[in-house]
A and B are shown apart, each in its own frame.
Chain A
Amino acid sequence: MKHDIYSTEGLYKIIEKADLSPTISKHVIYAPLIAAKAQPGHFVILRSRPGGERIPVTLVDWSPADGTVTVIIQSLGKSTTEINAFKQGDSFSDVAGPLGTPVEIKNWGTVMGVGGGVGIAELYPIARAYKNAGNKVISVLGARSKALLILEAEMASISDKIIITTDDGSAGKKGLVTDAMKDLYAAGEKIGAIFTIGPIIMMKFVAETSRPHATPTFASLNPVMLDGTGMCGGCRVEVGGKSRFACVDGPMFDAHQTNFDALLKRTAAYREQERESLEKYAKDHNCKIGLH
């Protein structure tokens, strides 16, 4: 079917929704212009309704033929909790994109993808593109527990080797993704490049693990973002001693050059307000979703 990219008919409607875990949901959204242009590493900005926050989220999949894009969202604060309460047939008020600079897809020989938590979803299209470009793909996936591990089958289908680690040992090996990386290095695996997406602290240690081996390592950074169009400068990150904007220059940057400690501090800027907002939402909706 040919989609009119200039039409607003049915835009941002949820064509399909699936819950992957109690707090992680997949949304397939009608947005033909974005679907036609998406590449691995692109992100979109979602807004659930008027008055809602602008939420940046990396694309997991897209179909130009169906005119749809797929995102996977974990309920963390009010906005993500609200989005995951959407049902099939509901619509977002806004989906802008594709934004960011896509990942350069080439042949590195062997590419290692290191994903943590919901970051696995964002790693998937990148790993798939590298597989399709003829790379050997090794996937190292980490989660707190088996219940929070997502897309294992999908990742397995595009990986030559897949290693699972969980904090509690409920799936794969008990331990951290960096333990698995060390084992692979120790076994003499020749790795051309590493792509990592997940919690900042995980990406920081992935970078530290690969640094002694000088393996080119790229991390998808997730600073607080507002407009996502290069206008506000809020998403600035320090890479190679310089200020870069994750929204237009990234979100993928050289992990060995990234100041993760500064990023950790900046992402904590609104923690109190985020909590206040979520508590109010939980109270208004008489529920405790997302409160830990």
Chain B
Amino acid sequence: MNNKPKKPSPSIKQNLGKHQDPVGRRGNFDEVAMGFGPEEAVAEAARCLGCKNKPCELACPVSVKVPEFVDLVYKEDTGAAASKIFETSLFPAICGRVCPQEAYCEAACVLKDKFGPVSIGRLERFTADYARKNGLITPPACAPDTGKKVACVGSGPTSLSVAAELRKLGHAVTVFEALHEFGGVLSYGIPTFRLPREVVRFEVDMLRKMGVRFLKNVMVGKSLTIDELKKDFDVVYIGSGAGLPSPMNTPGEDLVGVYSSNEFLTRVNLMEAFKFPATDTPYYIGKKVVVVGGGNTAMDSARCAMRLKPENVTLLYRRTRAEMPARGEEVENAMEEGIKFEFLTAPVALEGDEKGRLKRVKCIRMALGEPDASGRRKPVPQKGSEFYVEADSLVVAIGASPNPVIQQTTNGLSVNKWGCIAVDEATGKTSLDGVYAGGDVVRGGATVLLAMKDGKAAAMAMHEKLSGKGN
């Protein structure tokens, strides 16, 4: 590139990337963040000081070699930059889009306070996208076959991480997925405007090229049990994810038009209901949509709903903006797209018509009281503050608990009081010999990145076991 800035040039303004304009994007499911072009990437990479103590890399849940890959981006060797990321993480196109970098690498960047951090997440995404589109990606080499067999249950981020790591080490890996599409939450949950499907499919295909076997339509716990898998495989990893949506326990939750976020997002994303009737799975949102919750899933639900062109979308959250667990960028995106936020508000009853369809939501205002177990101030209902919000549909996005099927059908598998599989934190080892677990089935509900981190840690423990070292 011409006029290439010298590295390091930390005082160049941080590039936050371009977005589709808020009005236009309400009419499509295309990606909102548009990503860097090569020149923007090189200029942003030039800002990196290349710190010797690598605070960014140390802060990364999957230990991406940040200073080294950023330097290769600066040197315009994107293929090498991709390979550098691959040394510790096979999924930069996914992480570059869905990781809350502001809480990890970018929070640790020494430029953060003075100039704004290096946009590491955007550079990671650029590296992955540019390398993919230009055929610069070389799947990592795999060690010679060890003859050991690994079963991964679920094909979400945690299982994909295990599959990648153990396949690289020469083990034969089979991934079992209950649905018809691979990727778990990356396919059914996260909307395409945050994570396009072709990105997920590409990553799955890369694992296939490395020799990982993917079997769909197999629901472990029903189609096959863990005990059966143990007979046919040397080790088993359970990454079956968060399943069961948490109900609000509010009267009227069975009215037509009331969805769990899992159902709503699965309809819209996995089943592509937004293309109905060109696709076959319908949705019903009516004119007025209410979403309940303050996490990323609530933002995804509200933003999906907005793209289905209702008159309005209102989000109810019982605390304030400051306590919202959602990624900051997603909250801003949602606000820009015209979603109305009602903070310090909770639904108390859902009311319907004679056909059993939702019509309005009775709400109550809250005030923040003393901190609760999570350290956040507890919302307290304000007597006499009830009011109504008109609604044809409502999406409940207040969390999920682990899918209980495997726990119920596996003898001797210890679970905690929330129904999560109990594991040794460092290794993912469960109470059953040769069976490991991680991701949301252990954590209850966390992030893609923590799920990947669990997968990497468990893969190392499983490899030791397969090599006859640890137990």
Contact = CB atoms under 8 A, between A and B. Distances in A.
Interface string B213-242: 001111100111000000010000000010
A231 B253 CA distance: 17
A273 B276 contact: yes
B259 A277 contact: no
Given A51-B272, A96-B180, A229-B179, A78 B280 contact: yes
Given A37-B223, A229-B219, A236-B254, A270 B356 contact: no
Interface string A85-121: 0000000011111111000000000000000000000
B271 interface: yes
B404 A277 contact: no
Interface string A71-85: 000000011000000
A131 interface: no
Given A53-B280, A54-B180, A243 B215 contact: no
B260 A273 contact: no
Given A94-B217, A265-B256, A268-B355, A277 B282 contact: yes
Nearest to A238: B254
Contacts of B271: 53-54, 226
B260 A234 contact: yes
A34 interface: yes
A232 B267 CA distance: 9
Contacts of A95: 217
B282 A273 contact: yes
A277 B215 contact: no
A243 B280 contact: no
B29 to A, nearest CB: 15
B325 to A, nearest CB: 21
Contacts of A97: 217, 219, 222-223
Contact of B281 (A54, A243, A268): A54
Between A245, A262, A265, the greatest number of chain B beta carbons within 10 A of the residue's beta carbon is seen for A265
Contact of B219 (A47, A79, A99, A226): A99
A233 interface: yes
Contacts of A268: 256, 355
A37 B218 CA distance: 12
Contact of B403 (A5, A93, A229): A229
A231 B180 contact: no
Interface string B173-217: 010001110000000100000000000000000000000000111
A240 interface: no
A10 interface: no
B358 to A, nearest CB: 11
Contacts of B356: 262, 265-266
B232 to A, nearest CB: 8
A230 B222 CA distance: 11
A266 B256 CA distance: 6
A8 to B, nearest CB: 7
Give the interface SS of chain B, mostly helix, strand, loop or mixed: loop
Contacts of B280: 51-53, 78-79, 277
B244 interface: yes
A96 B284 contact: no
Interface string B276-314: 111111111000000000000000000000000000000
A269 B224 CA distance: 33
Interface residues of B, number: 45
A254 interface: no
Contact of A227 (B216, B223, B266): B266
Nearest to A78: B280
Contacts of A34: 223
Contact of A265 (B223, B259, B284, B355): B355
B50 interface: no
B279 to A, nearest CB: 5
Nearest to A101: B222
Contacts of B55: none
Between B215, B247, B278, the greatest number of chain A beta carbons within 10 A of the residue's beta carbon is seen for B215
B159 interface: no
A231 B282 contact: no
A229 B270 CA distance: 14
B254 A262 contact: yes
B119 interface: no
A96 B220 CA distance: 11
Given A262-B356, A265-B256, A273-B282, A232 B217 contact: no
Interface of B: 174, 178-180, 188, 215-219, 222-224, 232, 241, 243-245, 247, 253-254, 256-257, 259-260, 262-263, 266-267, 271-272, 276-284, 355-356, 403-405
